[in-house]
Chains A and B, each alone.
Chain A
Amino acid sequence: GENVEQHPSTLSVQEGDSAVIKCTYSDSASNYFPWYKQELGKRPQLIIDIRSNVGEKKDQRIAVTLNKTAKHFSLHITETQPEDSAVYFCAPLRGGATNKLIFGTGTLLAVQP
């Protein structure tokens, strides 16, 4: 099955700095790479995703980059704000018949004002 790891497990940055979270996966057949954000006491929500035929995708202050050869993808947040403080999860998914959706271990991001 898919083995998914995230690094770092916790990250503290000053407001306005950039943050990068990396997700490493084991299944070379993975072709869908999403990031979810979970604010304290709330449900996870999709914030950005990328497909295997694209190397990078941006949406305002967040971006995701993919390195299929090395089997990892990263979430980049620029100009961090206190409202970016949350737990972030990756959940790489393979195409085809596999239906198990395994989430990464999570990264707690704290943005200090």
Chain B
Amino acid sequence: NAGVTQTPKFQVLKTGQSMTLQCAQDMNHEYMSWYRQDPGMGLRLIHYSVGAGITDQGEVPNGYNVSRSTTEDFPLRLLSAAPSQTSVYFCASSLRVGGSSSYNEQFFGPGTRLTVL
């Protein structure tokens, strides 16, 4: 299994440009999510999905869109990039979320380092 993969690893954008960060997992996980991590800061939830066709907003959704057309893929779209979106973006997945068992364990991708000039 490749686990959780993210592309690209690095990206530089100009203000106003749009782009899509890719995330894929091959573990048949129902739950997928996107976090951003600013320098020296924690993980903030952007959007999440509990299954194909179902998405919802997290703590900081403004400026981002997501879709989940398949179980495997969960792309994150930046609509009009701003310098405030400079960050490291992590995609994560788990078998499910909720309850108390080990299927809550989050598996993270390697991250995408985004710089907006």
A residues near B (Cβ < 8 Å) are 31-32, 34, 36, 43-46, 49, 51-53, 89, 91, 93-106
Quick check: A43 and B104 within 8 Å, CB to CB? no
Quick check: B42 and A103 within 8 Å, CB to CB? yes
Question: Can you report 8 A-B residue pairs in the complex whose CB atoms are below 8 A from each other?
Answer: A31-B99, A32-B101, A44-B90, A49-B104, A49-B105, A52-B100, A99-B50, A100-B48
- Complex Cα–Cα for A34 and B101 (A): 11
Segment from B15-23, B71-79, B106-114 that makes contact with A = B106-114
Give the shortest distance, in Å, between B112 (CB) and chain A (any CB).
11
Give chain A residues whose Cβ lies under 8 Å from the Cβ of B102: 49
Q: Which of B45, B97, B111 has the most CB of A within 10 A?
A: B97
Quick check: B106 and A46 within 8 Å, CB to CB? yes
A-B contact count (CB 8 A): 71
Quick check: A34 and B105 within 8 Å, CB to CB? yes
A45-B108, A99-B50 known, 16 other contacts, Cβ within 8 Å:
A43-B108, A43-B110, A43-B111, A49-B104, A49-B105, A51-B101, A52-B100, A91-B106, A95-B99, A96-B98, A99-B31, A99-B56, A99-B98, A101-B45, A101-B106, A106-B43
Give chain B residues whose Cβ lies under 8 Å from the Cβ of A32: 99-101, 104
Q: How large is the interface on B (under 10, 10 to 19, 20 to 34, 35 or more residues)?
A: 20 to 34
Give chain B residues whose Cβ lies under 8 Å from the Cβ of A104: 42
Closest-by-CB residue of B relative to A6 is B42
Does B41 sit within 8 A of A, measured CB to CB? yes
